[in-house]
Amino acid sequence: MKVGFVGLGNMGRPMASNLARKGFDLSVYDISAAAVEALVALGASAGSNVATVTRDAEVIVTMLPNSQIVQDVLLARDGVIAVARPGSVILDMSTIDPDVTDSLARAAKSAGLGFVDAPVGRLSTHAEKGESLFMVGGSDEDVAHVRPLLDAMGTTIFHCGPAGAGTRTKLVNNFLAIGACQLNAEGFALAEGMGLNLEKTLDVINGTSAFNGQMQMAWPHKVFRDDIAPGFALDLAHKDLSLIMTAAASAKVPLFVGAAAREAFSSARAKGYGDKDFSSILDAHCELSGLKPVRFST
């Protein structure tokens, strides 16, 4: 299968790397020449622009930072939808405004193209190992067409419904994950402020209904160990919270916790945490509270 891949950032590069290692006929493009060169070293071919990686591809994958960039790449005069051959399928793995996903799916259909939205769950460390989770929206036929790629890049695939369902599921998932991150930050800052031992407090939380996935999948391996290098950057978490609040407003669903979490993440960005891991919201909250960072004792 000939695959074109646009966007080789923190998530796109490991995704594309797995495709290259597993034998796909892969052509890649990114504004970063170094990112392209890294994929060429794994056997991919380098495209000089979006059009060159699109023309002969059966599937065109996009993994891009925001809605506007995805629209630019897909809808430009020499963009994916204008250049792709009829019958090929667009696989957008970006996390964007679901209304934009809907409009892109309609544009693709009008051009005789398939469209699948498959935003990614889990972190860049999982992407490196080919262990990503995908929330997928699209027709049965289009999803079946891209399934070999998803299998090569991840271990868990949920077909959530028609085009747009994957993106909407991702927003619900990230609302809960990022909201839990903010709640945890306040909880552990409170524990620090009251002089409690982190390890013993965790033991209690992990044995009660207060437990959440951040306590197992992220924080014990990141911020509690003084590692706030970005697996999922706080800036991206803030972007997702903004998408979530916009989608909620469109659906007329109030999100009280979501609004508070977005403002807390805005505060953390203002303090310089934007390029840190989103678990660093704990450090931002400790700073706000005049507390030392919460860390394991050993």
Q: What is the pLDDT of residue 124?
A: 82
- Averaged pLDDT for residues 90-107: 97
Share of residues in the chain with pLDDT > 90 (%): 94
Give the pLDDT confidence of 198-241 residue by residue, as tens digits: 999 999 999 999 999 888 888 999 999 999 999 899 999 999 99
Domain limits of the chain?
Answer: 2-162, 168-289
3-state helix, strand, coil in the chain (%, to 5): 55, 15, 30
Taking the domain 168-289, which CATH number applies? Answer: 1.10.1040.10
Q: What is the pLDDT of residue 122?
A: 83
CA atoms within 13 A on the CB side of 206: 13
> Left, alpha or beta for 141 (phi > 0: left; psi -120 to 50: alpha)?
alpha
Rounded to two decimals, the pTM is 0.92
CATH 3.40.50.11890 assigned to domain 2-162? The reply is no
Local confidence band at 123 (pLDDT 50, 70, 90 cut-offs): confident
- Averaged pLDDT for residues 244-252: 96
Local confidence band at 103 (pLDDT 50, 70, 90 cut-offs): very high
Report, as residue numbers or ranges, the catalytic residues: 170
Give the pLDDT confidence of 260-272 residue by residue, as tens digits: 999 999 999 999 9
Local confidence band at 125 (pLDDT 50, 70, 90 cut-offs): confident
DSSP E strands in 51-125: the ranges are: 59-62, 89-92, 114-117, 120-121
